[in-house]
């Protein structure tokens, strides 16, 4: 079975070290994927950190910057026991702090039902997101049957390769029925759907049904809403233009939060179909915040680790990052 790999670059957890540790996280698309992690010793300072990965025993590996000291499997070992055995705490976790690094993760960002809802019936105020996924779960048998039929013809070369799988279902509320659309990236290796959350809910065709986005919300709720809108746009449109004059959090002590916010925007967009328009000062603030967190954008660009959305130089005529 084909394995998909995602390269993670993280900075050594010891303050001031700055060593980049690269880990290849392997996943069996459509197969059974174990969860666990690695304990890694930094090549530069010798301190130990840990990272959680998929398939630690057979598909993932440490590629550079550190030495694999131990591995664990969540089905066998308790994370707390592993941390105690190696004198580690939560502060020693290696985190993928920059999504400016390209990801080949087939799952992609997910629609989180627990986050603030955006799809509700305008007339009866009935929530539509959970019922939509419930209906999708019941339809998985029919969906997989149709996928099987599609692959029979596709593998013979009679059908061009699609970008996505789209499913439209009729979802009932207290007063009427709504047509809700789901999208999922197409993969040659994955011919079955096992979990409805593999699909992203792109909602109804009528954008007026985006009902729960008008009001005064907390920052967390605003981010939750924005994530669902980004998922809707990337699923439904060939080109998305994001005009972001201010990314926010541009003051001392919030550099990590600023990077996380950029992280979220970059992680929820398709760089090949997104144009990001921002101020030069806003982009400069992102670069400074990234560097303060141990990630030098120039070095990532040198080794071709940047996502195309940020990796294309602003001076390029076809830049996807427009500075104003």
Predicted pLDDT at 134: 94
Q: Are the beta carbons of 118 and 211 closer than 8 angstroms?
A: yes
pLDDT at 198: 85
Question: Alpha helix locations (H) across 66-211?
Answer: 79-85, 129-138, 140-154
b/e per residue 5-34 (b: at least 16 CB within 10 A): ebebbbbbbbeebebbbbbbbbbbbbeeeb
Q: What is the pLDDT, as a whole number, of residue 294?
A: 65
Reported as type and span, the H/E element at residue 285 is helix 280-292
Nearest to 311 by CA among 266, 255, 268, 278: 266
Angle, CA of 199, 259 and 319, to the nearest 5°: 75
Q: How many CA atoms lie within 13 A of 240 on its CB side?
A: 21
Shortest CA distance to 292 belongs to which of 104, 77, 16? 16
Per-residue pLDDT of the chain (324 residues; tens, 9 = 90+): 456 677 777 778 888 787 878 888 887 765 678 889 999 999 999 999 999 988 998 888 998 889 999 999 998 989 999 999 999 998 899 876 544 444 444 445 788 888 888 898 888 888 899 999 999 999 999 999 988 888 888 777 777 878 788 999 999 989 999 999 999 888 766 677 888 888 999 998 877 777 767 778 888 888 888 899 999 998 888 888 888 766 666 666 667 777 777 777 777 887 677 777 777 777 777 777 777 766 666 655 554 445 555 544 344 444 444 443
Number of H helices, E strands in the chain: 8, 12
């921002």: which residue's tokens? 278
């Amino acid at each position: 079975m084909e394995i998909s790999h995602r390269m993670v670059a993280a900075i050594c957890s010891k303050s001031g070290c700055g060593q980049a540790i690269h880990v290849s996280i392997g996943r069996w698309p459509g197969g059974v994927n174990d969860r666990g992690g690695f304990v890694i010793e930094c090549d530069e300072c010798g301190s130990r950190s840990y990272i959680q990965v998929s398939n630690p025993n057979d598909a993932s590996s440490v590629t550079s910057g550190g030495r694999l000291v131990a591995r664990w499997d969540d089905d066998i070992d308790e994370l707390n026991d592993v941390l105690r055995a190696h004198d580690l705490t939560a502060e020693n976790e290696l985190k993928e702090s920059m999504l400016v690094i390209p990801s080949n993760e087939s799952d992609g960002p997910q629609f989180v039902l627990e986050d603030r809802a955006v799809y509700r019936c305008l007339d009866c105020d009935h929530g539509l997101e959970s019922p939509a996924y419930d209906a999708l779960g019941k339809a998985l048998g029919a969906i997989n049957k149709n996928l099987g039929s599609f692959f029979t013809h596709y593998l013979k070369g009679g059908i061009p390769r699609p970008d996505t799988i789209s499913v439209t279902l009729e979802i009932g509320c207290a007063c009427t029925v709504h047509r809700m659309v789901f999208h999922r990236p197409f993969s040659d290796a994955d011919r079955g759907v096992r979990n409805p959350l593999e699909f992203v809910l792109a909602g109804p065709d009528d954008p007026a049904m985006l009902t729960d986005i008008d009001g005064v919300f907390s920052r967390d709720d605003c981010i939750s809403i924005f994530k669902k809108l980004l998922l809707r746009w990337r699923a439904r449109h060939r080109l998305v233009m994001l005009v972001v004059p201010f990314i926010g959090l541009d003051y001392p002590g919030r550099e990590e939060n600023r990077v996380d916010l950029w992280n979220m925007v970059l992680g929820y967009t398709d760089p090949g179909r997104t144009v990001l328009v921002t101020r030069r000062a806003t982009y400069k603030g992102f670069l400074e915040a990234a560097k303060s967190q141990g990630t030098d954008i120039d070095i990532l660009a040198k080794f071709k680790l940047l996502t195309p959305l940020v990796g294309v130089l602003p001076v390029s005529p076809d830049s996807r990052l427009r500075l104003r």
